[in-house]
Amino acid sequence: MFLFENIYIVLVGITHPGNIGGAARAMRNMGLTQLRLVQPKLFPHAEATARASGACDVLAKTQVYDNFAESIQDCHLVCGTSARSRTINWEILSPRDSVEKVLLTSQKVAIVFGREHAGLTNEELDHCHYLIQIPTVADFSSLNVAAAVQVIAYELRCAQMANETSLIKEPAETLATAESMQRFYEHLRQTLIEIDFLDPTNPRQLIRRLQRLYNRSQLTESEINILRGILTATQKQCKVKL
Ligand code: SAH
């Protein structure tokens, strides 16, 4: 019986199959079994199986996706990981603080890891509520991706063992899924264009900044419905005035 059935480790664009096996093993040691891959270069592969050691059960049920948005669309909390600080202000959490947030919910959570050479794109990070950074020395901050999975999986295990019952609480209300957040952002973008607040030929960073703002708030489904209701009413008023 695994305690982390709602936690999905998502690996994006991995080129070395050995890293997939290494991540599967790291997960299985700590009680995680849900692995999702987005456009792996080679999978299944003998090198992945070899590096997974005994964790073949994790590889056997690994799900493979063509695009990132699909791989997280049923998740209510999405955490990205990065070795680098990004230009736009993110809420950056340590592995320890991030697992506390993850363990507060029994809804589906994605913890996302990036490509060996390039990490995650800003577009991929736009889907994330938080950014997790593993603290390292300043001049050598990038871990091997399977090692990064190990650190987060270990913190999950420690937090779960330290506080078996009191940490695991139900949230008061269901958080919106990544899919409804994306639909809301598209609605927001469309409305901002209609009211001439956003110039589609020169969007700059506006939508990205708004995404950060709303992602920080961790909206529930009913809050999303209120916001979309306001957008629809705004669009109606705009059409009446035309
Ligand atoms: N040059 C890339 C490094 C990619 S390392 C970059 O700057 O982003 C591959 C992946 O391992 C990263 O995308 C991230 O998911 C994870 N990773 C590596 N080092 C990390 C760190 N210090 N903190 C959090 N995640 C890290």
Is the same domain home to 138 and 42? yes
Which is nearest to 115 in space by CA: 84, 154, 78? 84
Q: What is the mean pLDDT of residues 166-186?
A: 80
156 lines ligand 1 (CB under 6 A): no
Is the same domain home to 112 and 149? yes
**229 burial level (CB within 10 Å; 0-12, 13-18, 19+):** exposed
130 lines ligand 1 (CB under 6 A): no
Is the same domain home to 216 and 146? no
H-only helix segments in 61-205: 68-72, 95-103, 122-125, 145-162, 178-194
pTM of the predicted model as reported, rounded to 2 decimal places: 0.85
92 lines ligand 1 (CB under 6 A): no
Is the same domain home to 129 and 234? no
**Helices (runs of H) and strands (runs of E) counted in the chain:** 10, 7
Q: What is the mean pLDDT of residues 93-101?
A: 94
Is the same domain home to 22 and 129? yes
Q: Is residue 172 part of a domain?
A: no
29 lines ligand 1 (CB under 6 A): no
Q: Is residue 1 part of a domain?
A: no
Ligand 1 center to residue 195 CA distance, Å?
40
Q: Is residue 58 part of a domain?
A: yes
| 192-222 tens-digit pLDDT | 999 999 998 887 789 999 999 999 888 999 9
Mutation choice for ligand 1 from 117, 142, 144, CB with most ligand atoms inside 8 A: 142
Q: Which amino acid is at 219?
A: L
Residue 131's DSSP bridge partners are: 80, 92
Q: At residue 165, does pLDDT exceed 90?
A: no
Confidence of residue 1 (pLDDT cuts 50, 70, 90): very low
The residue out of 148, 167, 186 marking a domain boundary is 167
Is the same domain home to 14 and 86? yes
pLDDT at residue 90, as a whole number: 73
CA count, 13 A, side-chain hemisphere, 180:
19
Q: Residue 140 belongs to a domain with what CATH number?
A: 3.40.1280.10
Of 7-16, 18-27, 41-50, 161-170, the range with the lowest mean pLDDT is 161-170
Is the same domain home to 15 and 90? yes
